[in-house]
Structure 1
Amino acid sequence: MKTWFHAVEMTLLVMVGLRVLSGLIELTAAGLMLRFNSVEKAIGLNAMLVIIGPTIFITSIAVGLIGMSDRLSFSKFAFIGAGVLLILIGIRK
């Protein structure tokens, strides 16, 4: 009998782990903002989160694409890459 973890792809577990890590970092930052009770320190923490969010996003997508590499054609990879690029351009200020 297979356990639950054998039924879930390792790539998916890595992606989920990255998202959980990202969420824990966000919750920790929110708790620190409350603890410090300072707008200045809250802005500093938010500035650090600006780096973490996109990094987790890009890493998670890269892991997913690597995990799907044997099932996708080159043209589909190009479309996905263009979509990710458009998302990153769209969120730029």
Structure 2
Amino acid sequence: MFFIKEKIVVGMALIRILSCMIELSAAILMLKFNKVETALKINAVLAFIGPLILMSVMALGLFGVAGKMPSSKMFFIILGVLFIFYGASKG
């Protein structure tokens, strides 16, 4: 199937698969309850979980490249991640 060389990549993929399962479960629950109010509550929980998943995957990725990259490049990557969160928080 796949030749897996990096354990960090496996961890990142597993977190994303977990995220997918949570999203799919939430969609099924929305259909099961069939109420707008309940669907909004479920969606609010997803809005909290999404950024946690993003931060977890990003942290694993940064941990994986920390020793392989010069600190100046690492600084710019971390700065870019901070800009993503800043831009996402200002609506």
TM-score normalised over the length of structure 1: 0.90
In angstroms, what is the RMSD of aligned CA positions? 1.4
> Is the counterpart of residue 83 in structure 1 residue 86 in structure 2?
no
Task: Mark the runs of 5 or more structure 2 residues left unpaired by the alignment.
Answer: none
- Map of 2:48 onto structure 1: 51
The share of aligned pairs that are identical, in percent, is: 44
Task: Mark the runs of 5 or more structure 1 residues left unpaired by the alignment.
Answer: none
Superimposed CA distance per residue, residues 25-65 of structure 1 (whole angstroms, 9 cap, x where no aligned partner): 00000000000000000000011001111001011011011
Q: Give the secondary structure class of the aligned counterpart of 2:66.
A: coil
Question: C-alpha displacement at 1:8, in angstroms?
Answer: 2.5
Question: C-alpha displacement at 1:68, in angstroms?
Answer: 1.1
Give the total of aligned pairs. Answer: 90
> Is the counterpart of residue 34 in structure 1 residue 31 in structure 2?
yes
In 1: Cα distance, 2:19 partner to 2:13 partner: 10
In 1: Cα distance, 2:54 partner to 2:40 partner: 22
